[in-house]
């Protein structure tokens, strides 16, 4: 039976790079894959998964209205799929995570979802919370804080590098807006 995997990490841990490597491994062996990425992430080319080290691949953009299971079933009807890979999985709705589970359980296609666990306030994203609850396997991709400890938090910063504690849950950015920190340094930066 196919499984639902959730690979999670803080910002800048290499989630997209790991996804693109997994995709390459499947395709190198002649297997078909289907990639999804969040439409809201427009830092690079729309409909493209891009890693900070320069790897990229085309992907189907999703938003809250996208029926992932229908997209996969339609593609599966044309060609067999060996794997579905989802970047920016924190932006999935709980319903879309249920669709990913159905892709595994009904279509028998494994799904590898990659995303953040928490936002800049240390709160779970909807998609991440649901994936943490129902995924068959949870895999942490580790990143490093400035002190050398494991980074598990995402600090949002302004242009001067000062911590931001309030605002919308989603603000798309990279190293210009976020710093991955251990819990201690995250708390110290916020003064808590």
Q: Is 10 annotated as a binding residue?
A: yes
Q: Is residue 51 part of a domain?
A: yes
Q: Is residue 34 part of a domain?
A: yes
Q: Is residue 166 part of a domain?
A: no
Q: Is 12 annotated as a binding residue?
A: yes
Q: Is residue 50 part of a domain?
A: yes
Q: Which domain holds residue 30?
A: 4-142
Q: Is residue 130 part of a domain?
A: yes
Q: Per residue of the chain (192 residues), what is the pLDDT tens digit? A: 899 999 999 988 889 999 999 999 999 999 999 999 998 766 666 777 778 777 888 999 999 999 999 999 999 999 999 999 999 999 999 999 999 999 999 999 999 999 999 998 889 999 999 999 999 999 999 999 999 999 999 888 888 878 777 776 766 555 568 889 999 999 998 887
Q: Is 13 annotated as a binding residue?
A: yes
What CATH code is carried by the domain that includes residue 48? Answer: 3.40.50.300
Cα gap 166→121, rounded to integer Å: 8
- Which pLDDT does position 55 carry in this prediction? 81
- Which pLDDT does position 185 carry in this prediction? 92
Q: Is 178 annotated as a binding residue?
A: yes
Given a contact cutoff of 8 angstroms between Cβ atoms, the answer to whether 129 and 153 are in contact is no
pTM of the shown model: 0.91
Q: Sheet of 4-9: strands edge to edge?
A: 60-62, 33-38, 83-86, 111-116, 4-9, 137-140
- Which pLDDT does position 42 carry in this prediction? 63
- Which pLDDT does position 175 carry in this prediction? 58
| Residues labelled catalytic | 88
Q: Is 15 annotated as a binding residue?
A: yes
Rounded to 5 degrees, what are φ and ψ at 187?
Answer: -60, -45
- Which pLDDT does position 159 carry in this prediction? 83
Q: Is residue 98 part of a domain?
A: yes
Cα gap 79→101, rounded to integer Å: 20
- Which pLDDT does position 172 carry in this prediction? 57
Cβ neighbors of 17 (< 8 A, separation 6 or more) are: 51, 52, 53, 55
Q: Is residue 20 part of a domain?
A: yes
Q: Is residue 162 part of a domain?
A: no
Cβ neighbors of 190 (< 8 A, separation 6 or more) are: 155, 163, 165
- Which pLDDT does position 41 carry in this prediction? 67
Structural domain count of the chain: 1
């Amino acid at each position: 039976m196919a499984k639902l995997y959730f690979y999670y990490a803080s910002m800048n841990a290499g989630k997209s790079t790991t996804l693109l490597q997994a995709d390459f491994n499947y395709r190198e062996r002649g297997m078909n894959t289907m990639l999804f990425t969040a439409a809201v992430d427009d830092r690079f080319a729309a409909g493209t998964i891009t890693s900070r080290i320069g790897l990229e691949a085309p992907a189907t953009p999703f938003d809250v209205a996208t029926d992932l299971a229908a997209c996969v079933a339609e593609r599966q009807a044309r060609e067999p799929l060996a794997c579905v890979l989802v970047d920016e999985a924190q932006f999935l709705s709980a319903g879309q995570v249920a669709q990913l589970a159905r892709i595994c359980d009904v279509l028998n296609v494994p799904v590898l979802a990659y995303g953040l666990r928490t936002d800049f306030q240390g709160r779970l994203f909807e998609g991440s919370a649901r994936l943490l609850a129902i995924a068959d396997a949870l895999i942490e991709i580790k990143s490093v804080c400035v002190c050398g400890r494991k980074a598990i938090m995402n600090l949002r910063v302004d242009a001067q590098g000062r911590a931001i504690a309030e605002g919308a849950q989603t603000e798309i950015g990279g190293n210009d807006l976020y710093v991955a920190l251990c819990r201690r340094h995250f708390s110290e930066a916020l003064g808590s």
